[in-house]
Every structure is written in structure tokens, then in C-alpha cells.
Chain A
């Protein structure tokens, strides 16, 4: 029975890991996108000047 509990725990950890990889991965992607937009805006104002 103890072995089962250990494996259960591993599954829970795996689930939380997957959850946070997805969530934080998305935030990271969003960060890159923000940077790209900022750079595009800066390029434009530089060109305009």
C-alpha cells in the first residue's frame, strides 16, 4: 500500500509540474512577444525622428 502512495505522490508532482511548465512557458512566450512589440515601437520612433 505504501508503494501505491509513493506512486500517487509522483503523479501529483508530475501534474503540478506539467501545469506550471505550461503556465510559465506561456508567460515566457508572452514576455518575448512584449519585447518584440516594444522593439518595433522603438524602431518606429527612431526612424520618425
Chain B
């Protein structure tokens, strides 16, 4: 007896199996590359990049603090897109709306983790550089506010009842995202204790080449890491949605 899964006999199924395996392989490769990049980035940050003339060792903060901040902002934007997408799709295309909601939640939660890293590593630097753990200047304050907003977003998702929760959360996500431009602009509008923008700021800003390359490597590495974690969170949320939908379906069917 010839095996039933010969490609000529069942091309569609085999293509399905193959593409699933290819997908797994691609993801594994991505994980390996990401980890390699992180290790390379760390090496670049700690051993290749020179110490800053004025700040010394602690200037290496730009290799983890800034990338984490960038990733956090981007992921909060993912939350915004997911929220808007959910609201737009929920009537006509409920399945797609669920996709958007999963992205929205993932963006908020993972973004919050990265934002927490920013808010904890920043003071560690500030204590050493300025002698103070914290100051209520606009940039720090608004980053903290952003953190608070997304915590409240997650709390709403926990406290709100049932099916409307996703709609309410999506609306709150839009409100929260309105704060992001304020954070970005605050560094330019007001005199602040936080270091002035290094890129695109006043003349005299810009980074030395010896620091630029490690910085870029670390930006790449942290973004790859962020996307990996985001993807994982998304996958877990989709599984959760599937389970919830199945349970709801079973509850309805058992009653009928």
C-alpha cells in the first residue's frame, strides 16, 4: 500500500503541512537571529563602544534605555492601530475585529513592559549622572503618565463586563494614544533636565560615529526582541480568544 500522503494525491494538504512547517522553521530562525543580535548588541554596547568623555560608563544607557523607549512608543502605536481597527471592523467583520483586538492588547501589554524598563533604568542613570533619582520635568512626567494610562487600560480590560469590554478598551486606547505626541513634543517645547534630543536637535547634537554603530545595532536588536515578544503575546491572546469563543459556543449548544 502506498502511503496516503503522497504529494501528487493530496497536494493541498501537503502544501498546508509544508507551509506550517516552513512557518515554524522561519520563526525558529527569527528567534535565533534575534538572540544573536541581542548578544552582538550587548557586546557592542559594553565592549566596543567608547565611554563618553563627560559621563563615563553610565553613558551606555543609550544602548538599552533609548531602544526600549522607542519600542514602547511603537507598540503603543500598535495598540492605537489595533483599537481603531477593532472599532472599524466590529460590525462588518467580527473575526477580523478579534484580530485587531489581540494586537491592541499585545501592543499595550508588551509596550508597558518596555516602558517599565525605561522608567526603572532612567532613574538608575539619573542618580549617577545628576545625583537625583527623579525630577518632575515634562519628559519624565509624561512618560510616567503614559505608563499610568496603559495600566489603566489593562485595568479597564480586567474590570469591564463581557462583550463590550473590547469596545470600551479600544476607545480608551485611542484616548491614551493622544498622549504620545505630547510626550514626543515635550522634549522640544520646554527647557528640561532630560538630555536634549540627540538626533535632529539643535546644532551640536548628533552622535559620534564610534557610538552610532553600537547604538544602531542595539536599536535593531531591541526592535527584533520586541517584535518577538509582541508576536508571542499575540499568539497567546489568539489562543485565549479561541478558547473563550469555543466555551461560549458550547454553552449555547448545551442549552439548545
Contacts and interface: CB of A to CB of B under 8 A. Distances in A.
Interface of A: 4-5, 7-9, 11-12, 14-16, 18-19, 22-23, 26-27, 30, 33-34, 37-38, 40-41, 44, 48
Given A34-B239, A41-B239, A18 B58 contact: no
B57 A26 contact: no
A19 B45 CA distance: 14
Given A11-B125, A48-B250, 9 more contacts: A9-B57, A12-B46, A19-B121, A22-B113, A22-B117, A30-B236, A34-B235, A37-B236, A37-B240
A11 B129 CA distance: 11
Interface stretch (B3-11, B60-68, B93-101): B60-68
A15 B243 contact: no
Contacts, number: 76
12 contacts: A8-B57, A8-B58, A11-B124, A12-B46, A12-B60, A15-B65, A15-B121, A18-B121, A19-B120, A22-B117, A26-B229, A41-B239
Chain B interface category by residue count = 20 to 34
Given A5-B56, A8-B58, A44-B246, A18 B239 contact: no
A48 B4 CA distance: 28
A26 B113 CA distance: 8
Contacts of B120: 15, 18-19, 22
B117 A23 contact: yes
Interface of B: 42, 46, 56-58, 60-61, 64-65, 68, 110, 113, 116-117, 120-121, 124-125, 127-128, 225, 229, 232-233, 235-236, 239-240, 242-243, 246-247, 250
